[in-house]
A and B are shown apart, each in its own frame.
Chain A
Amino acid sequence: AQSVTQPDIHITVSEGASLELRCNYSYGATPYLFWYVQSPGQGLQLLLKYFSGDTLVQGIKGFEAEFKRSQSSFNLRKPSVHWSDAAEYFCAVGDKIIFGKGTRLHILP
């Protein structure tokens, strides 16, 4: 069965600091992996996706994610966060798109 675990419910970082959001998945085959962002009261926006090929995926807004098959992970990173990055981030896996429970990112000025 497909499943996604985002171990961190909340993460707080200072503006300008680097960010890594963790995602672990369970999937029977080569996974399709996604990261979405949701601002309060808004819908979901796709940040990036991985289907195959290069395991380091570049996305919008300066985000990237690395697929590590040996660790069943697809962690999201950003070298320097901006206050506007404060939002909830969802990792998702599979052809039916199963979501994790999300990580809420808080930015300190």
Chain B
Amino acid sequence: NAGVTQTPKFQVLKTGQSMTLQCAQDMNHEYMSWYRQDPGMGLRLIHYSVGAGITDQGEVPNGYNVSRSTTEDFPLRLLSAAPSQTSVYFCASSLRGLAGNTIYFGEGSWLTVV
């Protein structure tokens, strides 16, 4: 099983550029989310989705957009990248709300904004 797949694994952007981090899961999970991880800050929730067509903001949503047109995919968009968005990004999913089921994490995407 592929589980949660994130692409790209590594990316360097220039300030002001846009890009999309892709996240796909093949487990028919309803719940998906995006985190960023920074040294000393733990993982902070950016956006999450409880099902196709439904998204909501997490702790640090500014500068990021998401959409959930299918159950499988949950892309994270940076419309105008800033150096403060240099981070490691993790996508996660679970079957029916994170609390009731095991959460699966992707392997991470390392993003550097110069």
Interface residues of A (CB under 8 A from B): 6, 9, 32, 34, 43-44, 46, 49, 51, 90, 92, 94-102
Contacts and interface: CB of A to CB of B under 8 A. Distances in A.
Contact of A9 (B40, B48, B103): B40
A37 B35 CA distance: 16
Interface stretch (B12-20, B63-71, B76-84, B90-98): B90-98
Interface of B: 33, 35, 40-45, 48, 58-59, 90, 92, 97-100, 102-103, 105-108
B41 A95 contact: no
A102 B43 CA distance: 9
Contact of B90 (A44, A46, A102): A44
Contacts of B33: 96-97
Given A90-B43, A97-B33, A99-B44, A46 B103 contact: yes
B35 A99 contact: yes
A98 B98 contact: no
Contact of A90 (B40, B42, B59, B100): B42
Contacts of B45: 96-99
Contacts of A102: 40, 42
Contacts of A44: 43, 90, 105
Nearest to A98: B45
Nearest to A34: B103
Contacts of A94: 99
Given A97-B33, A99-B35, 15 more contacts: A9-B40, A32-B98, A43-B105, A43-B106, A43-B107, A46-B102, A90-B42, A94-B99, A96-B33, A96-B48, A98-B59, A99-B42, A101-B40, A101-B42, A102-B40
A11 to B, nearest CB: 15
